[in-house]
Chain A
Amino acid sequence: MTNLFTSATDSFQSQPATAPATGAGRAVLQLTGIEKVYQTRTIETVALNHVNLTINQGEFVSVMGPSGCGKSTLLSIMGLLDEPTSGTLELDGRPVQSYSDKELARLRNHKIGFVFQSYHLINDLSVLDNVELPLLYRSGVGGRQRRQRAYAALEKVGLGARTGHFPSQLSGGQRQRVAIARALAGEPEIILADEPTGNLDSVMGEEIMDLLLTLNREQGTTIVMVTHDEQQALKTQRLIRFFDGSQVS
């Protein structure tokens, strides 16, 4: 695949390594020459084509682009869920390529929180048990502490009264708030959200968006959010557009 589009207005692409004026400063995620090629038996798909990108601490970045252009792939690489075919990813200034499965799991657990389009709550666990999940994979956090932190996270998203419910008893917006609480419970530095409002109507979407904005503003959590909603994207500090595996703005 060739990239027909070149950068239109912004200058981020050409200066990936330097911190932009927005944001609080140091780079938490730095992608240099990231390429991701999916090799299947019949075809080879270039999902990411030489992407250079820096995410700074405290930033709220939105990512837009047509379906299939590589947004989820980008998030999965940033979130250490997948390895790039080539290029380097630095987390807090340290390249992550050489980490073992265990170390990667630890980093995911401590540094990163995920929010998915289809919530991905575990239906057979109560709201509280769902939110505890990241802490379950963290050593040194006792049962009582888990409970407390999960409660606190649910309070933050306004669901402190629903802890005993099961996901099936909640509306879509509530489910996504639970998912956000789950991402928050581990107190990560970065939240990666893949179309978090994609399955919600506009009112509920607005709610979620407000929640993320508040988080970013009040706690300084770094957020990278994939969205199809131009209005939402405009509320964030920086908008990155993708097309066919490349950043176009």
Chain B
Amino acid sequence: MIRHLFTLMWNRRRANALLVVEIFLAFVVLFAVGTIGTNLWANYRQPLGFDYAQVWQLNFTTGAQPRTEQFGTQRQLMAELRANPQVAGAALTAGNTPFSFNDSQTRLDFVEPHDSTRRPSGPINTYYIGPELRAVMNLELVAGRWFGPADAVQGAHVPVVIDERLQRAMYPDGRSALNGLLAGNNEPSRRVIGVVRAYRTDGELQEPLPSMFEAILPNDTTFLAQSVLLRVKPGSGAALEKQLTDDVRRIGPGWTGTIRTLTDMHTVQMKMRLTKPLLLGSMSVFLLLNVALGLFGVLWLNISRRRGELGVRRAMGATAGGISRQVLGEILVLTTFGLALGLLVAVQFPLLGVQNVRPDIYFTAMLLAAGALYLLATVCALYPSRLAAGIQPAVALREE
């Protein structure tokens, strides 16, 4: 029977070409949306690496204060912030804070320990941070150690803490990256002292990049960090916010401070990152609706046109259920034709490796898109197939 249906629908391919094309297009769109969606979902499921519920970000501007004085003022500000009973911890950081849309990327060479050969890394998210960051953000250390007082002394190599993703990039075979070296071109090389789970400041939806932390040295006078991440005690609100910005103005001549909660920043970022996919998603829903209407209409029309044929099939011994299954089967076969064309296109993506998406995400998206279209076709065929089952065999003798 399945072969019969394929023969029948293949012979009717001209009449059904439009529908097949529509299914093909729907598949391509669904595949695209599915890829984006699956990718977002795969990103979302990976650990974020930090905890932001009680964390605020304070940014300050230094006004017209001479640069040489700024570092002293900054130290004083940090001391006062930490002294505040409502503040559980405070860490200086460069501007690439969580959910801020800022990033700072470096490319280095992985140095193979036994033969010193170099292998270029891809982009690495690089964080200049005060050592208090680990406590403020609740970073999870999985190997080695975090920055300590010993690191304040400039050595031959710059000590860095990396995340697990960078460790895997350095040693895909699963070796530990501790004491591994990352070499730059015109800068001192870095030595890995510890590994944390992750620190995905780009947020849950973004494809994670490998990350690396470098500590801001206490006596550094080249780079002035102008952001502070603060862990505040539960229940802190507008009053503390005002107090802290007042502190900035009081301590720094001409300084101003602004505070945002990471929770707010997170919400803003989620909205931004979801706008495009949701727009695309709703557009594809409209497209699907269109395809559904088309399928339904064609099926309905076909049933009334084919009363004679279906009656003859019943006269030849088809049961009512058999007729209904045939109508459903036909539309599933048509869907299969459309999907086959669509898959030919879709398979090119993982094969050619265009876009930077993992093959398994493409395959999941193909499955999802195909499943959705089969479901859609089945739903569209339910009523027409029942209609067809109701055709009395006696019409075979009447329909001309």
For residue A75, CB closer than 8 A to chain B, the reply is yes
Given contacts A109-B316, A137-B317, A137-B318, whether A124 and B400 have CB atoms under 8 Å apart is no
For residue B1, CB closer than 8 A to chain A, the reply is yes
Q: Which has the most chain A C-beta neighbours within 10 Å: B7, B316, B318, B398?
A: B316
Cβ contact within 8 Å between A124 and B8? yes
CA distance in complex: A101, B324 (Å): 14
CA distance in complex: A209, B1 (Å): 33
Name B400's contact: one of A79, A80, A118, A143 (CB within 8 Å). A118
Cβ contact within 8 Å between A72 and B318? no
Q: Which has the most chain A C-beta neighbours within 10 Å: B4, B11, B314, B319?
A: B319
Cβ contact within 8 Å between B400 and A105? no
For residue B49, CB closer than 8 A to chain A, the reply is no
Is the contact region of chain B dominated by helix, strand, or loop, or is it mixed?
helix
Cβ contact within 8 Å between B312 and A116? yes
- The closest CB in chain A to the CB of B3 belongs to A143
Cβ contact within 8 Å between B322 and A137? yes
For residue B393, CB closer than 8 A to chain A, the reply is yes
Chain A residues with Cβ below 8 Å from B313 are 133, 137
Cβ contact within 8 Å between B11 and A72? no
Report A's interface with B, CB cutoff 8 A. 72, 75-76, 79-82, 101-102, 105-106, 108-110, 114, 116, 118, 120, 122, 124-126, 129, 133-134, 136-138, 143, 182, 186, 194
* Shortest distance from the beta carbon of A94 to any chain B beta carbon, whole Å: 18
**26 pairs across A/B with beta carbons < 8 Å?**
A76-B393, A76-B397, A79-B315, A81-B393, A81-B394, A82-B393, A105-B314, A105-B317, A105-B318, A105-B322, A108-B314, A109-B317, A110-B317, A114-B315, A114-B316, A116-B397, A120-B312, A122-B309, A122-B312, A124-B11, A125-B11, A129-B7, A133-B313, A136-B1, A137-B317, A194-B397
- The closest CB in chain A to the CB of B1 belongs to A136
CB-defined interface of B386-400 with A at 8 Å, one 1/0 digit per residue?
Answer: 000000111011101
For residue B342, CB closer than 8 A to chain A, the reply is no
Chain B residues with Cβ below 8 Å from A138 are 317
CA distance in complex: A75, B393 (Å): 12
Within 308-341 of B, Cβ neighbours of A (below 8 Å) are at 308-309, 312-322
Chain A residues with Cβ below 8 Å from B397 are 72, 75-76, 81, 116, 194
Chain A residues with Cβ below 8 Å from B316 are 108-109, 114, 133-134, 137, 182, 186
Chain A residues with Cβ below 8 Å from B314 are 81, 105, 108
Name A134's contact: one of B4, B8, B317, B321 (CB within 8 Å). B317
Chain B residues with Cβ below 8 Å from A126 are 11
Q: Which has the most chain B C-beta neighbours within 10 Å: A118, A134, A137?
A: A137
Cβ contact within 8 Å between B396 and A120? yes
Cβ contact within 8 Å between B7 and A82? no
Chain B residues with Cβ below 8 Å from A82 are 392-394
* Shortest distance from the beta carbon of B72 to any chain A beta carbon, whole Å: 89
Chain B residues with Cβ below 8 Å from A122 are 8, 309, 312
Cβ contact within 8 Å between A125 and B322? no
Given contacts A136-B1, A194-B397, whether A108 and B7 have CB atoms under 8 Å apart is no
